[in-house]
Each structure stands twice: as C-alpha cells, then as structure tokens.
Amino acid sequence: MPDADISILNSFKLPPPYSQLSHDEILGILSDPAQISWRQEDIKIFGKIYAQPRLIAYYGDEQAQYHYSSIILKPLPWTDFLRALKRQVEQVTGEHFNAVFLNLYRDQNDSMGMHSDDEAELGQNPAIASLSYGASRTLIMKHRHEKSRTNIKIPLHSGNLLLMKGTTQHFWKHGINKEKTAHGPRVNLTFRRVFG
C-alpha cells in the first residue's frame, strides 16, 4: 500500500503459561466481563449523541490517559493476561507499548467508523499493533487525500496481528463495517504508546 507501513502476522503465539490456550479460550477470557471491564460509551457525531456500536475497555500504565471523540479514557491497571499479551506483542513487533484499547464486536451489527489513530498523545508516527480473536471481520482502509483511490480490504482472522506504523495514520483511515451475514463475537486489542 502506498503511503503506509503495514504488516500482518497470521499466527500470533502466546508465551507460557498461556501457550496452550486455544483461540476460543482466549476469546472467552477477553470477552468475560469478570475479566475485562467492558462498557459502552456515547459519542457525539455532528452534534448528536449515539451509543457506540460496540463495547470498549482501556488498560495501561497509569499515565497513559487517552482522548478521542470527546471521550477521556483513564487506563485500568494491567491484568496479568493483558500484560502477557503486551509483552509478546512487543517482542514480535520490536515496538514498545504502554496501553491497550480493546473493542468487543458482539455480532455482525457492531462496527467501527472510519478514523485515523492520529491523536496528539500518540505522537508523530504512531505504531499501532492490532490483535484479533474470534470471528473474522474485514478491516477497510481508505486513503484520506486521494478520494478516487480504491479502498483496501484486509481480512482479519482469529490470531492475526496487524501492525500499522510510520506515516500510515497520516494518509489512511480504517474501520470495520457492519456485516450482512451472521457473525459471532470478536475481540480486537490495539496496543499503542500514549505520551502523557
């Protein structure tokens, strides 16, 4: 893709003691409200308030407060499982992260609008590592400046790790559309470095 630095690892592996967990078991841990503090936020779009069409959670280092769409997120402390995921993602990507933003897509009706992760607290050229478990969904990539450019569709399957870095967020928006066919739940974890 022009104006982008994107790579995909198709089979992300967890370290011991979690290495024997299946993708379904990992999805079960991540979607369990006793393990992850899921919530649904309201967002303002063109002056109107809407409930986000998915559940979110935010964990990280204490200073990694994050703002987007008029929402202020204060990180919850890392769980042991999320910290293990973070460390393995860091080892695989060679990047350093201090927060993880989780999205739970409950079914095919949940979605995420087109956006760029370009908030000031993410720095000039942020690295975003996106890890998926559960149902496959398609990530849509749309060029921000060349409207005639064809959208790129990237299928994300359970266990896929997508890394976006460099100038990707300057030139591309990304999102997850609703699907016409039935889908089970999907959890997506986006690891990032937030500068306080």
Q: Counting every residue, how long is the chain?
A: 196
Give the other-Cβ count within 10 Å of 5's Cβ. 13
So what's the pLDDT on residue 49?
A: 87
For residues 15-36, one letter each, b for 16 or more C-beta atoms within 10 angstroms of the residue's C-beta and e for the rest, the string is: eeebeeeeeeebbbbbbeeeeb
Instruction: With respect to residue 112, please indicate whether it lies within any of the assigned structural domains.
Output: yes
So what's the pLDDT on residue 7?
A: 97
So what's the pLDDT on residue 61?
A: 98
Mean pLDDT value across residues 94-110: 98
Instruction: With respect to residue 121, please indicate whether it lies within any of the assigned structural domains.
Output: yes
Instruction: With respect to residue 132, please indicate whether it lies within any of the assigned structural domains.
Output: yes
The whole-angstrom separation of Cα 59 and Cα 69 is 18
Is pLDDT of 72 > 90?
no
CATH of the domain at 107: 2.60.120.590
Instruction: With respect to residue 191, please indicate whether it lies within any of the assigned structural domains.
Output: no
Confidence tier at 38 by pLDDT (50, 70, 90): very high
- Residue among 126, 121, 120, 57 nearest 95 (CA): 126
Confidence tier at 148 by pLDDT (50, 70, 90): confident
Instruction: With respect to residue 189, please indicate whether it lies within any of the assigned structural domains.
Output: no
The residue segments making up the domain with residue 144 are 5-37+49-184
Mean pLDDT value across residues 135-159: 94
Instruction: With respect to residue 124, please indicate whether it lies within any of the assigned structural domains.
Output: yes
Q: Which H, E and C letters describe the chain, residue by residue? A: CCCCEEEEECCCCCCCCCCCCCHHHHHHHHHCCCCCCCECCEEEECCEEEECCCEEEEEECCCCCEEECCEEECCECCCHHHHHHHHHHHHHHCCCCCEEEEEEECCCCCCEEEECCCCHHHCCCCCEEEEEEECCEEEEEEECCCCCCCCEEEEECCCCEEEEECCHHHHEEEEECCCCCCCCCEEEEEEECCCC
Is pLDDT of 14 > 90?
yes
Instruction: With respect to residue 193, please indicate whether it lies within any of the assigned structural domains.
Output: no
Is pLDDT of 45 > 80?
no
Number of structural domains the chain divides into: 1
Instruction: With respect to residue 196, please indicate whether it lies within any of the assigned structural domains.
Output: no
